[in-house]
Every structure is written in structure tokens, then in C-alpha cells.
Chain A
Amino acid sequence: MGGPDPARRILITGVANFWGAGVARALLADPAVEHVVGIDTRTPPPDVAGRITLLDADLRAPELRTRVRASAVDAVVHTDIPQFPEPGRAARQLHDVTVMGTLQLLAAIGDLPTVRTLVVRGSASIYGSAPTAPAFFGEAMARDALALEHATRFQRDLAEIEKLVEGLARRRPDVACCVLRAQPVIGATLDTPITRLLRAPVVPVMMGFDPRVQVLHEEDSVAVLAHALRNPVPGAVNVAGAGTIALSAAIRSMGRMALPVAHPLFRTVAGAMGRLGLPAMSDDTVRYLRYGRGVATDRMTGELGFAPRFDTRAAIAAVAGALEQAA
């Protein structure tokens, strides 16, 4: 296929977050790229900030549409989908930022005739975690997973975002819309709930549960966004390091200690530990720690043609090594 002409003018939402800044760096190093526009209310890292055009705007602001249209970009990378509540960003706000922000952005793209490519940083959390879930979710299985009654708010938000993207893909068949459903990203510097949990000296786990987990290394999580920009395959693609690892083995290879907690008490204990620096855990994370999740990556390695540098085990080992060096 090879896709259309390589993108030259690119818009990145959430350019101040890890993924937005990472893609911006990769694009700035590419001589074929003429112009990078970033949207964020926060300030991007200094090495990125000086070399891009920054639109200091909230994705939800209505004036955004005019400004996006004026940018005349040919590709959009949407990374501003906060995947977990942070201090000061409650779960309710999360819904607002992710869904309303995406809605505004897609509306803007919808009447921007120059756009040919849209890459969205989605999440494999769309599948949730369930005791009898398929061991490896394929891209077509999201609907079944969402039909379950315990589907979390974030799962439904992700589904809503993907529905919006599908809507755009229908309305604008000339735009290749690619949603990357990434498994939890881990890294030595990255601040995600799973990473912070695995970095804690004592890791609370649920007694009697040893889920299979599958992760993506931070480096690959940025590389895949840049890759999808060059070869956007329409629709959703699962993204993860090959293989799975038992949570207990992951904790061991991180050199941490597991603290088994009876599962009905898990939330309380984890909440108490929250005051000691552990992340506040969303329903998704709690379910993930109980039942785990695996995704099938055939589409990623095949159609998308992306090979992560780290498989799941190697990603955990790499983070463990980096942390040891830092210590």
C-alpha cells in the first residue's frame, strides 16, 4: 500500500504530554516534515516548544475549530486522551476532556479538506478485564466486551471516542482514521498507574489472583504513533509487546515485594497506601490487577507493520534495569 504522500504538516493534540512531545520530537527529526502544530494548555518540554507552533487552547473550546482550520494540516495525531484520573483531574472531568475534546477536534477535522490522516491514541482498556474474557482480544471483540454490565465508565468513554472516529471515517472516506488500542505503557520515567504501582517498594496485589498482564514499553508507545502516521491502517489496531507475563513474575523481575490483600479489602488498602504515594486506582486498574488482559497483535505486526522493540517481558526487564541504574 505505502499510503498517501507522507504527511508534511502535522497537528498534535496534547503536545505537552509524554506521547505528544515524543511524536513531535520524532517528526522534527524527519526532514520531510515541514511544519508541526501542537495544541495544549500546558507548556511542552523546552526542546519541543521552540520548534513548533503552539496553539494554547483547550480542546473543548469552540474557537478551536477556526484555529485548526487555519492551520491547514494534512495529518492529525490525537494523543490528548487522558487515560486515568490524576490529582486534580477527577473521573468526571476525564469524561469531559476525552469525549467532548475529541468531539470538537473531529468536528474541526471534518471540514478541513487538507487532512488525509488521523491517528488516535486509544487504549486496550476498551476491552476491560473479566474473569472469562478471551485470553487474547481481537479488534472485533470490543463490542462484546462493552456489552457486559460491568463495563466501566472509561471503557464506555473509549467506545464513544471510537464511535466518533468511525463517524468521521464514514463522512470523510479520504481520511485514513487509525485508532491504536495500546496496552498499559510502562517506563522508568513515565507516570502511569501501572508503572507507579510496579515502582512502589511494596506492591499491593489481590490474594489468590495472579493475572496475566501485557504491557507496552514507553519507547514503543511513541514509535507506534509515528509509525501509524506513515502507514495509517483504517480502523482499530491492538498495540502491545508480544506475550504476557504473570503479575507475580513482573513484580519479582522488578525486584519488588508483593503484598497480598484479600480482594474485598483491596480498594481500602490501596486507598490507604495512596497517601503514601501510590496512585489512586480506577475501576479499570483494579479489574486489570484482578483479571489481567491480553490482546492479539496480529493486525499490528501484519497490516500496520509495526514490530515493538520490547516484548512484554523485555519491557519489564528494561524498566527494572533503568530503575536500578537510577537508584
Chain B
Amino acid sequence: MSAGRDDYWGYDARFADVLAPVLGALYDHWWHVRVTGPERLPAGGALIVANRSAGEPWDGAMIATAVRRHGGRELRALGLDALFSLPWAGTVLRRAGVLPSGADNAQRLLAEGHLVLVWPEESSAGPYTVGRFGRGEFVEVALRAGVPLVPCAVVADGRLPLPGPLALPALPSRWRIELCPPVDLSAYGPEAASDRRLVLEVSDAIREQLQAKVHENLIRRERTDR
């Protein structure tokens, strides 16, 4: 294994090392990210479930930076499917540890012990509002893989000045990221993945928790920062 920290998914550790200081600068000086609870991340595989705030690339980059700084671990994010057919974009994303979404990819990554980040929201419901979660496929994946779910609330600047997934929110703002305590589903066992009622219940509970945490952090931000 001459590849070192690289893996067969297309992740490029050297590229990530080049990217890290750039993202770090955004993290510290542009978005002034404050993170709560990174120490709660379990060792081994876990599925991090985040709301969309400033757009997946930026949310993902900041969550990854927080995890990298506090736990020294690399994250794999699943999403941004539309970008993988474009030149450069797909290559850059893969090297940075992003993969097209899909239960197959998630399942395999978790089995290998990775931290995997997903955005289950079907569509954006407006600033600081967590949208519908669809069929709750992420719960199935976590049940089958036997890993905990980690809800992750992100409060970025809610207003997106430019549309499109790569549009950089133009103004510097103050972000908050909270990693909630892991939700352990191992008691249900992998067969529970086909239990629709359980899957939807867990999925709804996670959505509600995320919504509550988004509001909480929003209020906290207003209070401390004004």
C-alpha cells in the first residue's frame, strides 16, 4: 500500500492537505465558525446527518474542517450529484472526499469505518427551516450498517446571494455548527431497515431535532454576536 491515506474511492490526501488551509481561512476569518460537540463524534463509522444551510459544498467543507480540526478525522460526504459529470468539478470533489449519493456508496464507506456526511433534505424549505426528509433512506443505511446517526445542525447565513451549488455566499457572516449526541440504533438490528414505520419515525425525530437545534443556535448567535 504505497497510497498511504489515499483510498480506492478517489480521495487524494495530498490534495486535501492543500485544500485544508484554504478552507481553514474561510472557517476562521470569513464565516467565523463556532462548533459545538465535535468531541461527541464516536470512534469508528458514523452517519452524520446535516441540514442544508449555505449550500452543500460550503456546509460540507466547514463540517469537514471542524471534524478535521477537533478529531483529526477525514470525512466522506455524499451528494452534489449534478457536478460529477462536469470537467474539473467531479475530479476536485472526488479528490476532496465527496462521492455521488447512493445507499451503496454509504453502506460500503460505513463498513470501512468512515465518517459519512449526508443531507437527507429533499428540497430547501427556506432559510433556517429544515425541509422534508423523503423516504428516510439514511436511517435504513445506518440500521443496516449498524452505525450511529449524528445529527448536525448548521446555521450559516441563511440568505444565498447567488443561486447554484457553487455560489459562494458573498458576505462574511457568523456560522454555528452543532454536532448532536450520536443516536445509537444498534439495538434494532439490521433487519429493522425494512421496518417502514421505524425508519420514518427515526427520520422524523432526527428532522425535528435538527430544526430545534437550528433555532437554538440561531438564537444563541443573535444573542452573543449582536
Contact = CB atoms under 8 A, between A and B. Distances in A.
B88 A135 contact: no
Which among B81, B85, B101, B104 has the greatest number of chain A C-beta atoms within 10 A? B104
A212 B10 CA distance: 7
Contacts of B89: 208
Contacts of A281: none
Nearest to A133: B100
A256 interface: no
Interface residues on A, range: 20 to 34
Given A243-B8, A294-B8, A206 B87 contact: yes
Contact of A132 (B10, B88, B91, B100): B100
A132 B9 contact: no
Nearest to A312: B8
Interface string A221-256: 000000000000000000000011010000000000
Interface in A180-235: 206-210, 212
A142 interface: no
Interface residues on B, range: 20 to 34
Nearest to B88: A208
A267 interface: no
Contacts of B41: none
A208 B89 CA distance: 8
A212 B8 contact: yes
B102 A132 contact: yes
B85 A141 contact: no
A138 B90 CA distance: 22
Given A131-B84, A132-B81, A212-B10, A138 B104 contact: yes
Interface in B169-220: none
B87 A207 contact: yes
B184 to A, nearest CB: 27
A290 to B, nearest CB: 9
A208 B84 CA distance: 11
Nearest to B109: A135
Contacts of A313: 2
A262 B104 CA distance: 31
Nearest to A140: B104
Contacts of B100: 131-133
Q: Which 8 A-B pairs give the minimum distances between C-beta atoms? A: A208-B87, A132-B100, A131-B84, A131-B85, A134-B104, A208-B88, A244-B8, A132-B81
Interface of A: 131-136, 138, 141, 206-210, 212, 243-244, 246, 262-263, 291, 294, 296, 313
29 contacts: A131-B81, A131-B84, A131-B85, A131-B90, A131-B100, A132-B81, A132-B84, A132-B85, A132-B102, A134-B104, A135-B104, A136-B108, A138-B104, A207-B87, A208-B86, A208-B87, A208-B90, A208-B91, A209-B90, A210-B91, A212-B9, A212-B10, A243-B8, A244-B8, A262-B87, A263-B87, A291-B84, A291-B85, A313-B2
